[in-house]
C-alpha cells in the first residue's frame, strides 16, 4: 500500500538578495502524524523552510505541496504584536475570528426565538448547526477560561487598570534587576 504524504517538497530552491542561495535541492515528504524536527546552524534556512511550508513565503523555485485539505499553522519566531495593546489585547486580536463565531451563535439564538417561516427556520437551523459544530470542534466554548491564567481575577475599571500598570512597571523593574545581575555574573 502506497503512503499518502501530508506534505512534500520537491527540488526546492530559495535565493535571497544579493543572489545568495540559502536552500538548494531540498526534498522532504511527511507522513500523517509524523513528528518532525528541523535542525541546522544559524542562518541555514530552518525558518525559511517552515515559512514556505506554511505558505507565508511564496518566492521560491520548486514545489511545496500540502495534501488536499491539509491546514498548516505557523507561529513566527518573532510574532508581530500591536505595541499599543497589552498582552491580552494582542491575544484577543488572534482570537477575533473565534469571538465572531461565538457572537454569530448568539445572534442565531436570538433570531430563532422570533417568528419564522418554515423555510427561514430550516435555513437558520442549518447555519446554527454549522456554527455550533465549528465551535465544538475548536473547543471555542472554553475560550475565556483558556485565556485567563488559573486563579487570575478579571478586574475592570480605572482601579484595575492602575493595578495592571503598576504590575507591569514592577515586572519591568524586576527584569532590569535580573539583567543587571546576569551582566555582573559574567
pLDDT digits (tens, 9 = 90+) for 147-177: 876 665 555 444 444 344 444 444 554 555 4
Q: What is the pLDDT of residue 72?
A: 84
Alpha carbon distance 63, 27 (integer Å):
9
Is residue 22 within 8 Å of residue 48, measured between CB atoms? Answer: yes
- Of the pLDDT bands very low, low, confident and very high (cuts 50, 70, 90), residue 135 is very high
Q: What is the pLDDT of residue 148?
A: 77
Residue 82 confidence (pLDDT) above 70: yes
Q: What is the pLDDT of residue 159?
A: 44
Residue 63 confidence (pLDDT) above 90: yes
User: Is there a cis peptide before residue 43, judged by omega within 30 degrees of 0?
Assistant: no
Span 129-151, average pLDDT: 86
Residue 161: helix, strand or coil by DSSP?
helix
- When mean pLDDT is compared over 36-45, 65-74, 129-138, the highest value belongs to 129-138
Kindly list the strands in the beta sheet with 61-66, ordered across the sheet, starting from the edge strand earlier in the chain: 20-30, 7-16, 61-66
Span 12-23, average pLDDT: 92
**Cβ burial, residue 97 (10 Å; 0-12/13-18/19+):** exposed
Q: C-alpha 87: how far from its chain's center?
A: 15
Alpha carbon distance 134, 29 (integer Å):
30
**Average pLDDT of every residue of the chain:** 82
Span 96-111, average pLDDT: 93
Residue 125: helix, strand or coil by DSSP?
helix
Span 118-139, average pLDDT: 93
Q: Evaluate if pTM is beyond 0.85.
A: no
Residue 110 confidence (pLDDT) above 70: yes
User: Is there a cis peptide before residue 18, judged by omega within 30 degrees of 0?
Assistant: yes
Span 27-35, average pLDDT: 90
The three three-digit cell numbers of residue 51, written as one number: 515559512
Alpha carbon distance 11, 101 (integer Å):
40
Amino acid at each position: 500500500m502506497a503512503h499518502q504524504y501530508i506534505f512534500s517538497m520537491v527540488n526546492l530552491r530559495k535565493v535571497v538578495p544579493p543572489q545568495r542561495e540559502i536552500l538548494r535541492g531540498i526534498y522532504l515528504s511527511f507522513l500523517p502524524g509524523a513528528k518532525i524536527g528541523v535542525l541546522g546552524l544559524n542562518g541555514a534556512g530552518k525558518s525559511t523552510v517552515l515559512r514556505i511550508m506554511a505558505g507565508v513565503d511564496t518566492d521560491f523555485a520548486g514545489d511545496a505541496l500540502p495534501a488536499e485539505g491539509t491546514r498548516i499553522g505557523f507561529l513566527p519566531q518573532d510574532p508581530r504584536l500591536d505595541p499599543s495593546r497589552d498582552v491580552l489585547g494582542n491575544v484577543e486580536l488572534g482570537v477575533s475570528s473565534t469571538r465572531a463565531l461565538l457572537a454569530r451563535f448568539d445572534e442565531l439564538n436570538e433570531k430563532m426565538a422570533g417568528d419564522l417561516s418554515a423555510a427561514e427556520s430550516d435555513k437558520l437551523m442549518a447555519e446554527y448547526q454549522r456554527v455550533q459544530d465549528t465551535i465544538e470542534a475548536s473547543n471555542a466554548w472554553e475560550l475565556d477560561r483558556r485565556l485567563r491564567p488559573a486563579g487570575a481575577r478579571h478586574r475592570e475599571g480605572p482601579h484595575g487598570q492602575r493595578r495592571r500598570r503598576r504590575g507591569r512597571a514592577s515586572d519591568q523593574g524586576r527584569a532590569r534587576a535580573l539583567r543587571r545581575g546576569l551582566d555582573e555574573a559574567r
